[in-house]
Amino acid sequence: MRSLTGPVEIYGVKYPGMVPTGLDLPKTVYDVCRRSRRPLRKGDIVVLTHTVVAKAERCRITLADVKPSGLAEAIADKVGKRPELVEVILGQSKRILRIEGHHLITQSKAGIVCANAGVDQSNIDGGQSVVVVPSSPDKIASKYAREFSRLGVKVGVVITDTLGRPFRIGDVNFAVGSFGIPPLNDLRGKKDLAGRRLRVKRIAIIDELAAAAELVTGSASEGIIGAVIRGYNPGRSRKGAAELQRPFSKSLFI
């Protein structure tokens, strides 16, 4: 029988103006959904951008307060960035992996390999301050899930950032933190339509949800701090986005 499946719905959560430091994000999302006559439901997935999470968690640094080291000044000259910004990046990094052109690729304290350790100047104050990724984004996602539960609704939470890809042009949203949903859908051992048993197939569920959410959140001046994804029910899990980090011993390129 031929049929359609779905649907999966994605709603953007709009906030008027800049997000203030210390904002109660779960309560804000809950209230926006209620006022929009689309109240949160059990099984919804709340996706939040790391910039607003960093502001809410007070992970903001004023560059004028940063004293750059000699290493930061040398790297800044090479990549064409402010020495103060580079000093923050170094402070948020476990290790530098590559310096190429204006690109500074590091492994962040959260264990993520990305540009600039996830340090971001967008949507803050025009470049005078930066926000950094919380060192334990999975713990933040877990905390928010508990706060949503206290508000009366059990949801999954995904915290996102933007990731460049070495072999593709253009950035995509991916998950830096999550709680309440399985990070992976492991299909190994299952059979395809031809009866062939799958050997390596694992779907990065939270990354696909993060990328889908950016279709409504955008990354510029939209003022949309996150999204609610409804109709996709992968089940419950206490595992987080750290499950998706490939160990350096198994890296194909580092």
Residues 117 and 145 in one domain: no
What SS3 class is residue 62?
strand
Residues 14 and 34 in one domain: yes
Residues 55 and 67 in one domain: no
Query: Which has the higher per-residue pLDDT, 191 or 126?
Result: 191
**Residue 250 covered by a domain:** no
Q: What is the DSSP code (8-state) at residue 196?
A: P
- pLDDT class for 1, splitting at 50, 70, 90? low
CB atoms within 10 A of CB 168: 8
**Residue 163 covered by a domain:** yes
Mean pLDDT for all residues in the chain? 91
26 DSSP β-pair partners: none
- Domain of residue 224: give its range: 1-59+134-242
Per-residue pLDDT reduced to its tens digit, 57-89: 999 999 999 999 999 999 999 999 999 999 999
Given 81, 107, 132, the domain boundary residue is: 132
Residues 140 and 46 in one domain: yes
**Residue 247 covered by a domain:** no
pLDDT above 70 (res 220): no
**Residue 4 covered by a domain:** yes
Give the total number of structural domains in the chain: 2
Residues 20 and 117 in one domain: no
pTM, entire model: 0.92
Tell the residue number behind the tokens 């050997």, with chain if given. Answer: 199
Tell the residue number behind the tokens 């005078």, with chain if given. Answer: 128
Note the pLDDT of residue 221: 66
